[in-house]
Chains A and B, each alone.
Chain A
Amino acid sequence: MSVSKLPGTKLSSKEMYSLPGLVESAPQAKYDFSAGPTISRFLQGLKEGKILGRKCPRCGRVYVPPRDYCEYCHVALTNWVEVPDTGTVHTAVVSYISVRRERLEKPEVIGVIRLDVPGYPPNGYEFAGLFHRLCVPPEEAMSDEVIGMKVRARWKPKEQRTGSILDIECFEPVR
């Protein structure tokens, strides 16, 4: 590529907003999603204060979040199992921005929790887990100690639970 000038014209922000014929459009679309039979039952479990997984009759994997079928054996999952609401922090991050990229007043700590589900080797590639908030101060979340930390689900009071992933407020350290 020996060309020094390539096609394409860059506009400054000011130039863009003074373009003739600039159209602004904000699509309005609403969706109602059904959770499906398996996740509906999982959400019902959360409402009851339980984390439910589902086991593959062929390979023995326990899926959390549960699935309808085994991704590897492609057979229907049958047995529901209640799994512990404890685990260890697999990874943790501190978010300073919102979904719209606005600066957050109070940073949020989020992570992946490797749940204490039997059948998965401790350092294996696969595990049963959830992606959720961590009730850990940001400074602590950035320290090396947080990786592998023991945590437990902090449940919302029973009357406030609606059958949502938010029925768990966060995972908090087991001190």
Chain B
Amino acid sequence: MGMVTNLFVKDRVAIVGAGITTFMRRALETPRELAWEAARMALDQAGLTLKDVDCVVIGSAPDTFDGVHLKGEYLADGSGAIRKPMTRVYVGGGTGVFVPVSAWWHVASGLCETVLAVGEEKMSPAHPHPQYVFRYIWDPIIHRPLEPNLIWIFAMEMRRYMAKCGAKKEDIALVSVKNKRNALDNPAAQVAANITVDDVLKSETLVWPVQELDISPVTDGAAALVITSENVARQVTDSPVWIEGVGFTLDNQHWENRELAFPRYLNYAARMAYRMAGIERPWKEIDVAEPYDPFDYKELHHIEGLMLARPCEAWKLLKEGYFNRDGELPTSPSGGLLGVGNPIAAAGVMKVAELFWQLRYEAGKRQVKRPVHRAVANAWGDLMQAGTVIVLGN
């Protein structure tokens, strides 16, 4: 283990429990009921009850998705936050990983010993399509008059990645094939499937180069983690999973002013987290990863931003099976957002929960083949500018 360089941290922080609901379109349960289900499962797994919880961190993306304002307060009771210090964090799609990052500083600062960290999203109520809600994230003066739809941005990044890195659509589609296949072993999964590259290339073209099977679905769901001090962790489990590094940074919001082929917003955050974890060569020291994959090219983009592959080389390694569950550096063994689903804030928490199970060798059929000691997850959001990263170890 490398030296932890941040000397101001008071307490070592562990994850001791995780919970998740089924990911689905059109959940019968309300958002707060989904939050409660995930929170309860996480506490049960940790062998703790609400009485043991000092603070609660809630993550949810824009209120407009669920159609309920003050989402944090709305979700508070289901998340166990009544009469407790509660924080809601929000960095768009980056929120899911920001939830455990925020829980980490609640504990590392010495403020709380046990934190319940909950991510929830219910996207299916918005009609005619939740995509329309994204209209309100654009600059009202110089972007909205062009009537942009959300997928424009992703298509622009994907095209730029293809142009700069020489990747073809069929190379990128392999991510979707891999993740949907991995999701077949995940009981939470919404769109697990055995598909081929050809299926992706024949699916509906939305904004070329992005086609329907390049994208994660519209999803409702919740996921939760129990995060504690070392003191509590040693009392409740023999196999705590340590949070060894956290990172969160922003790049310029004006993406018409920057290179889109490489995600610097993530690279800065990754360097911050690796430095804290004492990791100098992430491509050698990380055993399993959950890069954020709302789109297939995004997993490649993020693998490179996380420095698990050189810029423009992730797609080549993917073709060799390097990122498969039995490969040298398995990515998205959960099935990712492409296979399990994308309830925004809950999706990032799901990724961290998956690494928690992987590092405890509790992932069942999803357990990666190689031995695992260190893992990294990331998420991405705001106006495509925010990077959040967490490094875990067992």
Contacts and interface: CB of A to CB of B under 8 A. Distances in A.
Interface of A: 1-13, 15-16, 19, 25, 27, 31, 33, 35, 39, 42-43, 63-65, 71, 90-102, 107, 110-113, 124-133, 138, 141-142, 144, 147, 164-166
Contacts of A11: 26-28
A101 B210 CA distance: 13
Given A96-B206, A112-B256, A144-B163, A25 B156 contact: no
Interface string B191-211: 000000000000001111110
B151 A97 contact: yes
Give the 4 A-B residue pairs with the shortest CB-CB distance, closest first: A8-B22, A7-B37, A93-B155, A10-B24
B142 A65 contact: yes
Interface stretch (B101-109, B357-365, B369-377): B357-365
B60 to A, nearest CB: 17
B141 A165 contact: yes
A6 B252 contact: no
Nearest to A17: B26
Given A10-B22, A93-B209, A127-B257, A165 B151 contact: no
B49 interface: no
- Which range holds the interface residue count of chain B? 35 or more
15 contacts: A6-B20, A8-B23, A8-B221, A10-B27, A11-B26, A12-B26, A43-B141, A65-B256, A94-B205, A101-B128, A101-B149, A102-B128, A110-B156, A112-B260, A124-B259
Contacts of B256: 65, 112-113, 129-131
B74 interface: no
B188 interface: yes
Given A91-B260, A125-B259, A98 B187 contact: no
Most B CB within 10 A of own CB, among A31, A98, A131: A131
B302 interface: no
Contacts of B21: 6-8
B37 A8 contact: yes
Most B CB within 10 A of own CB, among A5, A42, A107, A111: A111
Contacts of A33: 140-141
Contact of A166 (B140, B145, B262): B145
B159 interface: yes
A27 B364 CA distance: 45
A100 B132 contact: yes
A10 B142 contact: no
A161 B363 CA distance: 60
Given A9-B28, A9-B29, A99-B135, A93 B208 contact: yes
Interface string B147-188: 111011001110110010000000000000000000000011
B23 to A, nearest CB: 8
Nearest to B141: A35
B175 to A, nearest CB: 19
Nearest to A3: B187
A14 B139 CA distance: 37
Nearest to A11: B26
Given A19-B28, A95-B152, 7 more contacts: A25-B67, A65-B256, A92-B159, A95-B151, A96-B206, A131-B255, A165-B146
Given A98-B147, A125-B259, A165-B141, A6 B188 contact: yes
B306 to A, nearest CB: 18
B355 to A, nearest CB: 12
